[in-house]
Amino acid sequence: MTFSLDGLETRPAQTWGSIRLVPLVRDEPVPNLRLHRVAYEEPLSVVDVGDGTSYASYIPHAFVAQWDDGDRLPAASYGTRLLERDTAPAPERMPIRTIRRMARKAGKDRLRFLPLHLAVEGYLALHFGGPAIAWEEWSRRAVNQGLSPRAEAAYLGLRVRGLEDALRVFEIHPGQCGVLVYVADALASAFAVPHPDDYRALHATLVEDLFGETIYLHGLLGAPAGDVSAGIDDAEIGSVADLRAAAGRARAEWAEFHDEVMARWIFDERGTYRHVQRLHGFHLTRFLPSFELRRENHIGEAIVDGDARVAYLKTFRLSDGQIRRGHLLGRLAEHDWRLHRAAAAMGVTEANLALRLDRSGFGHLLRPDVLDHYRARARRGETPGPRPPGGAAVT
């Protein structure tokens, strides 16, 4: 299943330095669904994933699809102090917000969810359990704990140079319900909502969203956006009607080029899609790409109707390193975590695959003696030989 952007039309882009914003406009708002924002004064949140585990994240705001939340706030102290008596002043504390679920009902017809965190949770939990069987290559930690813990870095939009200025000065089109954000012509994020009033209320929240390492670096480099404008041949213009027709053709050509070339990797036909919550005929869904190497890969979340048409959308572009890690985990899972089978399917030796896992940060999943054997031979410039015998034992 792939999603459809039917009902969202591309309008001419606006550029500011390296930032290009492409408006998405609806002829008619999506009926029966509205989004608005809840701002948290305490950005540090502890999120309960729902399986007994939790993680901490900086979440400055949530989106509400006609639901709400009113938790009392616990607090965490800055460090630890020894006090001489009970009357001593309490240490300085930092408020935190405890959130029981990524998407949580808060009333009969309201759902509160954290923007992009559904998508990030899906990526972090990718094959989280690790090997299901104690194959001879894997360590006891890999079998008992899987990939726990996993951590990924992201940057607030405020850290992406030029984005805040672009959002402040660019025009919001009549009927605009979304935007695609490019930094140095790299697609950073897609954002869409059901109603133009929702977009006007949420437009500025893009600077509080998560952006990946690739986009942050593009912003630092400050490379200007390229010129992709469609020109008009003034020799063919003899009247206002001719100019209007030429402008219409230019807009159509730009929209076709953008949708078929610049934004073609937002949705992946071979990706995975999971419904998280049902909302009166709509589905809150998160999606992962196929992790194909050497091209864009986006994770994201959406609210879609029964025909998979998008009412709400928010995406996050993965870095090359994140794509490689997802690709390796996916190939291993496809082949029951048997290193030699996955290596054969990838056209590499078992030793090459083991060293790739090590370079991608998964070396701790392998038995130390197995990995040390391959590392030593690689340092000597030798072709890595077969792994040392060990049966099915794990350390």
Question: What tens digit of pLDDT does each residue of 112-171 get?
Answer: 777 788 888 888 888 877 777 767 778 877 777 777 667 888 899 999 999 999 999 999
Q: Name the residue ranges covered by the structural domains of the chain.
A: 338-379
Helix axes 350-357, 368-379, angle to 10 degrees: 100
pLDDT (average), residues 91-98: 45
Q: Are the C-beta atoms of 316 and 298 separated by less than 8 Å?
A: yes
- Reading the block at residue 127, the tokens are 């094959």
The rounded distance, in Å, linking the Cα atoms of 304 and 196 is 17
Whether 215 shows a pLDDT value over 90: the answer reads yes
Question: What tens digit of pLDDT does each residue of 16-54 get?
Answer: 989 999 999 999 998 888 887 765 554 455 555 555 555
- Reading the block at residue 129, the tokens are 């359990």
pLDDT (average), residues 301-326: 92
Residue with tokens 């995975």: 272
Cβ atoms < 10 Å from Cβ of 222: 12
Model's pTM, two decimal places? Answer: 0.77
With a pLDDT cut of 90, the percent of the chain lying above it is 36
Question: What tens digit of pLDDT does each residue of 61-94 get?
Answer: 567 665 333 343 444 433 444 444 444 455 444 4
Contacts of 355 (CB under 8 A, 6+ apart): 374, 375, 378, 384
pLDDT (average), residues 196-219: 92
